[in-house]
Structure formats: structure tokens, C-alpha cells
Structure 1
């Protein structure tokens, strides 16, 4: 599911116009915009007129101008593309339907059409569209209710309010004394530290859970199967005792599955700190599905990078992130793509190089095979977890990369030498993992760049020496980059 799925087609085009302008320094020709949107000039004019009408509410914070040749965007320092997305989403009927469902649990067609001021046919069409997107979550709006596994319903609402709707508004309105006490009780009972950002996630989850806990006819069929290997898990046992005790204070009867739901959430999202998670990892069952996969994937990564053993703290960090990835793949279906998948993947490739992306895909295939997860085309959860694997591999690469010491020793007149040395340093500065400077005989280097073969044997000791063919040529730069990669492995 994408954020744009809550908007109408014309609204998506308008958002795309804003985005394209932001990516092109605020100005773009009509021809380029028409090519990007694949629409007629008349349609573009209509979209621009609509945008002008909408942004009138923003006074001087947003200004868009167009003259038939070019389109120009100006925004104040306080505005961003995120504000524009939020503005469009605030007018979405599909958003109102989800909000109504969360608040009331069910609806009648008559009541909801009156609430939204739309016809029955329009409402049925919106619900049909929403159901096509909810399918990947295993959910469906039917008979005036959101139907599916209870864990999936809460998970969807969590994703919806955390990433699409304004979570701060919901937290402000519904974070009462009971919710605050629940967070504090969970922190004390589990003997963990919940930092502010994680506390916000947990608060939102508990608000959603409080809204759903008394709902009748909850479905737990899949959850019961998934939890079988975890019935003796030490963390689950603590959560189970805490949940039953807590709700008994308020004379609320809850199913055993209520504890299962909270256990899955605690492991799937960054709620525990890395330190607290490490304490749990030491006592969890290593043969349980998620822990077993964590170990296998971690060993696969270590072998791939040809590490004898990663540093202790890096290994802890790796397991922390792997458990989040694998818990989501194990317990949940669907996701909300808050980032453009292809754009993010392209950016990741720039960071980690092309070779690590296929490796990340191999890791994902291994994980989905292990959990018997069907890789459906356009499955957002699978796509987002692939990006997380790539990000984890990038993180490991950065932390394990040794800083390559490079000395520049040009043989020429001093003026040219100083100027060209500085230019070469500027050219190579974007390459990560290097320390580059003018060559100093008293220092030890991994790589020395020079323009002449030295007549002194072993002048540069054990350093690798590269003779520049043409200073700053693309050929030389490409070769130097390859040498740096070799020195890093």
C-alpha cells in the first residue's frame, strides 16, 4: 500500500507536480512536466489551476507560478513536501472511512454516507478501492466492519496512524492516564528502558489496543499457530503475566492472545533498546523460528564479507536489526510504502554498490522461504524489508571499513604540485573510507598516488603505488576507486 492510494488520481498528479518541482530546484518547463506526467497541456493547466486554488489557504507560504512555458515553485522555510502531502490527505474520503472505522468499529451505509456527504455509489466505490489495497494486509471492509486477524487489524491501524494520519493528534486526544500507566507498568515489569521515540510508538500501539480490546468476535487463528514455538519464551511469559494483571485492575477480561499480540509488536518494532534486547537474546530459545533465522542470516553476512568475526558491539547491533526484520516477516502481512521504493533502492545502490543489492535479495528469499511466505508481486512488506536488508548491509560495510590512508606525491614544479594536489583531494573527497593528504615521508600509507616511477627502491615501503596517467582523468579515478575497494576487502 502506498500513501497515494488514499488520494484521487488528479490529487496524485498534483502531488507529483510538487515533487517534481522540488527535485528540480523549484522550476521545470511545461515540456518536461508533460513528458513526466504523460498528459495533455490542457490537463496540466487544469491541475495547475487546481493547485493554485488549494495553496491559496497557505497565504505566502507556498507560491506556484506558470506562464505556458515554465512552472515555478516557491516555499517558505517552514514548509516542506510533507506538509503538502498532509494537506491533501486531510481532505481524503478514504482517510475519513478508516478513521470512522477505527473510532466506531462498524458503520451503516446510511450513517456513513450522511457523515461523508457522498452518495451510496461513491461510498461503495471508495470501499472497493480500499479493499484492493487492504488485501495485502489480509484485511477487508465487509458488512460495515474491518475484518481479518486481530493482530493484522491492529498492525494496519498502527501503520496508518504512524505513517499516514497525524499520529500526534491521536496521541494527544487519546493518551489518558490509563495509557500512560500502562507504558510505565510495562517498562517497570519488563525491567527495560523505553526511550522517548520508542515510547511514542508504544503509546500509539496501546491506544489502538485499548480501542480494540473489548471488540467482540476477534480472530486469532493464524496468531495461535505462529505463537506455538514461543509459549515458553521468557519475554512472552513476562508480557503475559503483566497484561493479565493489568487488565484485571480495570475488571476487563482479555484473551490469552492479547499478550501474544503485544509480544509480536515488542519484537517487530524498536521498542526495547539495543541493550535490553541483547539481554533478552541471551536467554531466548535459539531454536525458535525468528532466533534461528537471525543466526543463519548473521552467519551468512559474516561469510559474505569474509569477516573472521565482527566487533562485539557491531554483532549485537546486527542481531537487533535482524530480529525486527524477521519478526515482521514472521508475524505480519503488508506494509505502507512511505518512501518511493525504486528511488530508495537507487539511493541504496549508490551507497552500497550494485553487488550488495542482489545479496540482500538472496537474504530476503532465504527468509521468506524459511517462513513459507509467498512473495506476491508488489507486496509492500517484502519490498520494505528488502530495503532494510540493504540498509543493514550498508551499515555493516561502513562500520567494518578500514580508513585507507592515501598520500599524493606529485613530481613537478611546486606551484603545479600544490594546485593539482588540492584539486585531486577535492575530486576524491566524496569517496568514503579514505584519508587523503599530501605525501609525507615520515608517515605510513596504504596507497600512494604519483605521476612518475620512483628511482628509489621501496621509497614508499609497503604502500601500494599507483602511477597516474593523466591527473584527474576518468580512467585514473575509476582505477583508484577499484584499488580502494580491493584494499577494503
Structure 2
């Protein structure tokens, strides 16, 4: 599910105009914008007029102007594209519909149509559109209620209040001592310290849980099935005891599954810090599905990169991130694509290389096959977890990369040498794990860049030599990057 799915078609075009202006340095020709949006001139004119009206209250922070040839964007230093999205989402009928459903848990068509000030037919259309996107979460709005597995419903609301509706609105309107006490009780029972950013996530989850705990018609079929290997898990047992004791203080009857919901959430999201999670891994059953997959994927990575062994802290860090990825795949369905998948994938390919992305796909196939997830279906969760695999592999590559020493030894007049040395160094800054400098006497290098074939073979010791065909050419740059990757293996 994409953030844009909460907006109307014309609103999507308008935020796309903002996005294109940001990507093009705040200036884009009218013709180029027409081509990109693939709309008629009248539509673009109408969109620009709508944008001007929508942002008029923010005139001191953002403006869009058109001089007859170019469209311009200016924003204050403390204003960003994210706030543009929030402006549009705050006025979205679909967002208001979901918020109303969360607050009241059910509605009548007449009641909600009046609340949103739209016709019954428009409301039916909005619900139908939302249901087409909610399908990947395994949930559906029907007969004025949200139907589906309770874990999926809470997870969707968590995503919604984390990325779509401003979570501050949820916290301010619902926060009370009961939530604060429950978070403190969790820290005490689990003997952990939850850091401020993680505490924010936990507060949102607890507020959603408090709202849902009184709902009578909760469904746990899939959760019970997935929890079978974890019923005796030490973390689950601690959470179970905490939940039963805590709610009994308020004379609230809760299902046994309430603890299961919190268990899945705690392991899928970075609530526990790395140290506390590591303490848990020492106790957990290593034969349980998530732990088994964590170990298998770690071993696959070690074999792939031909590492003899990983440094202890690198391996620990890897287990921490992999367990979040695998827990989400094991327990949850769907995701809200906060970051544009294609753009993120393109950027990560540029940054990490095609080989790493290909290996991330291999790891994802291992995980989805293990958990029986159908990759053929439109599944934002699978797509976003792929990006996390790529990021994790990049982190490992950076941490395990030895610094390749590169010396530049150009044979030409010194007035050219100094300038070209600096240009070569600047053009190679994007290559990770290297140190480049003008060749120093008696210093050992892994790679020498020169423009003439050396006459003495032992002049550079054991260093590999690359003779530049045309200084600063893309041909040479690609070959140098290939050699660096080979030296790092």
C-alpha cells in the first residue's frame, strides 16, 4: 500500500509536481512537467491553481510559481516535502474515514457520510477503494466495521498512525497515566530499558491496543497457529504474566492472545535495544522458525562472501536486524510504502551494485519459501523487506571492507599532474573502502593508477597496476571499481 493511495488522483498529481520540483533543484520547465505527468495543458494549469490555493496559508514557508516557461519551488530551510504530504493527507477523506473507524470501531453509512460531509455513494466508493488496498493486510471494511485478524488490524493502525495520520494527534487525544504505567510495567517485567525513540513506537502500539482491547469480536486464528512454537518462549511468558497482572488491576478481562500480540510486535520492531535483544537470543529456542531462519541466513551470507568468521559485534548486529525482518515476514501481512520502492531500489543499486541487490533477492527467496509467502501477489511487506536486506548487506560490506590503498603516479608535467590527481581523487570518492593519494615514495599500495606502462615490473612492489586509457573516462572508472571489488574479496 502506498501513501498516495489515501489521496485522490488530482491530489497525487499535485504532490508529484512538488516531488519533481524537489528532484530537479526547484525548477522545471512547463513542457517537461507536462511530459512527466502525461496530462493535458488544462489539467496542469488547474493543478497549479489548486496548489496555490492549498498552500496560501503557508506562504512564508513554501511557494510554487510559474513564469510562463518554468515552474519554480521555494521552501524555507525548516520546511520539507514530508510536510507537503502531511498537508494533503490531513485533508484526505480516506484518512478521516480510517481515523473515525479507529475512534468508534464501527459506523453507519448515514452517520459517517454526515460526519465527512459527502454523499452516501461517495462514501461507498471510498470504502471500495480502501478495501482494494487493505487486502494485502488481510483486512476489510464491511458493515461499518474493520474485519480480519486482530494482529493485522492493530498492525495496520500502527502503520497508519506512524506514517499517515500524525501520531501526535493520537498521543495527545488518548495518552494517559495508564499507558505510561503499562510501558513502565513492561520495562520492569522484561528487565529492559526502552530508549526514547523506541518508547514512542511502543506508546503508539499501546494506545492502539488500549482502544482495541474492549472490542468483542476479535479473530486470532492465524496468530494462534504461528505462536505454537513460541508458547513456552521466555519472552512470551514474561509478557503473558505482565499482561494478565496489569489488566486485572483495572478489572479488564483480556484474552490469552493479548500477550501474543505484544510478543509479535516487540520482536518485529526495534523496541528492544541491541543489548537487550541479544540477552533474549541467549534464551530463545534456536529451533523455532524465526531463530532457525536467522541462523541459516547468517550462514548463507558468510559463505557467499567467503568470510572465515565475522567479528562478534558485526554478527550480533546482523542477528538483531535479521530477526526484525524475519519476524515481520512470519507474523505480519502488508506494509505502507513510506519510501518509493522503485526510487529506493534504484538508489541502492547505484550505491551497492547489482551483485549485492541480486544476493538480497536470493535471501528474500529463502525467507519467503521458508514461511510459505506468495511473492507473486502484490505485497508491499515483501518489497520493503527486500530493501532492508539490501541495506543490511551494505552495512556488512562496509564493516568488513578493508581499506584499499590506491596510489596515483601520473607521468606528465607537474602543472597537469597536480590538477589531475585531485580530479581523480574527487571522482573516486563514491567508491567505498578506499584511500586515494598521489603516490608516496617507499609506501606500500594495493593498486597503482598510472598513464604509462611501467618499465620496471618490481617498481611498485606487489601492487596491482592499472594503466589509464583516458584519465577520468567512465571506462576507466568502471574498471577501477571492479578491481577494488576484487581486491576486497
TM > 0.5 between the two? Answer: yes
Whole-angstrom distance in 2 between the partners of 1:453 and 1:117: 78
Tell me the equivalent position of 1:294. Answer: 294
Whole-angstrom distance in 2 between the partners of 1:206 and 1:178: 10
Tell me the equivalent position of 2:348. Answer: 348
- Cα deviation 1:234-281 (Å, max 9, x = unaligned): 111111111111111111111110000000000000001111111111
Where do 1:136-175 residues align within 5 Å? 136-175=136-175
- Cα deviation 1:266-325 (Å, max 9, x = unaligned): 000000111111111111111101001111111111111111111111111111111101
Tell me the equivalent position of 2:190. Answer: 190
Deviation at 1:457, TM superposition (A): 4.7
Deviation at 1:456, TM superposition (A): 4.2
Deviation at 1:428, TM superposition (A): 1.8
Tell me the equivalent position of 1:99. Answer: 99
Tell me the equivalent position of 2:23. Answer: 23
Where do 1:53-132 residues align within 5 Å? 53-132=53-132
Deviation at 1:174, TM superposition (A): 1.8
Whole-angstrom distance in 2 between the partners of 1:387 and 1:426: 29
Tell me the equivalent position of 1:377. Answer: 377
Tell me the equivalent position of 2:484. Answer: 484
Where do 1:384-403 residues align within 5 Å? 384-403=384-403
Deviation at 1:450, TM superposition (A): 2.2
Structure 1 position 222 matched with structure 2 position 222: yes
Structure 1 position 238 matched with structure 2 position 234: no
Deviation at 1:69, TM superposition (A): 2.3
Question: Higher mean Cα deviation, 114-123 or 327-336?
Answer: 114-123
Whole-angstrom distance in 2 between the partners of 1:146 and 1:158: 14
Deviation at 1:429, TM superposition (A): 2.1
Tell me the equivalent position of 1:178. Answer: 178
Where do 1:47-58 residues align within 5 Å? 47-58=47-58
- Cα deviation 1:320-340 (Å, max 9, x = unaligned): 111101100000011000111
Deviation at 1:55, TM superposition (A): 1.3
Whole-angstrom distance in 2 between the partners of 1:117 and 1:421: 67
Tell me the equivalent position of 1:263. Answer: 263
> CA contact under 8 A between 2:154 and 2:209: conserved in structure 1?
yes
- Cα deviation 1:203-227 (Å, max 9, x = unaligned): 1100000001111011111110000
Deviation at 1:376, TM superposition (A): 4.0
CA 413–185 in structure 1, closer or farther in 2 if over 3 Å, else same: same
Whole-angstrom distance in 1 between the partners of 2:320 and 2:287: 17
Structure 1 position 274 matched with structure 2 position 274: yes
Question: Higher mean Cα deviation, 31-40 or 445-454?
Answer: 445-454
Runs of 4+ in structure 1 deviating by more than 4 angstroms, as ranges, are none
Instruction: Please report the TM-score for the alignment, with normalisation by the length of structure 1.
Output: 0.98
- Cα deviation 1:337-391 (Å, max 9, x = unaligned): 0111100000110111011212111211111111111224321111111111111
Q: Unpaired segments of 5 or more residues in structure 1?
A: none
Q: Unpaired segments of 5 or more residues in structure 2?
A: none
Tell me the equivalent position of 1:324. Answer: 324
Partner SS for 1:429: coil
- Cα deviation 1:453-479 (Å, max 9, x = unaligned): 444452222211222333323332222
User: What RMSD over aligned residues (CA atoms) do the two structures have, in Å?
Assistant: 1.3
> CA contact under 8 A between 2:150 and 2:219: conserved in structure 1?
yes
Whole-angstrom distance in 2 between the partners of 1:129 and 1:56: 30
Structure 1 position 408 matched with structure 2 position 408: yes
Tell me the equivalent position of 2:469. Answer: 469
Instruction: Please report the TM-score for the alignment, with normalisation by the length of structure 2.
Output: 0.98
> CA contact under 8 A between 2:136 and 2:378: conserved in structure 1?
no
Tell me the equivalent position of 1:251. Answer: 251
Partner SS for 2:55: helix
Whole-angstrom distance in 1 between the partners of 2:474 and 2:109: 66
Partner SS for 1:63: strand
Deviation at 1:66, TM superposition (A): 1.5
Whole-angstrom distance in 1 between the partners of 2:55 and 2:388: 36
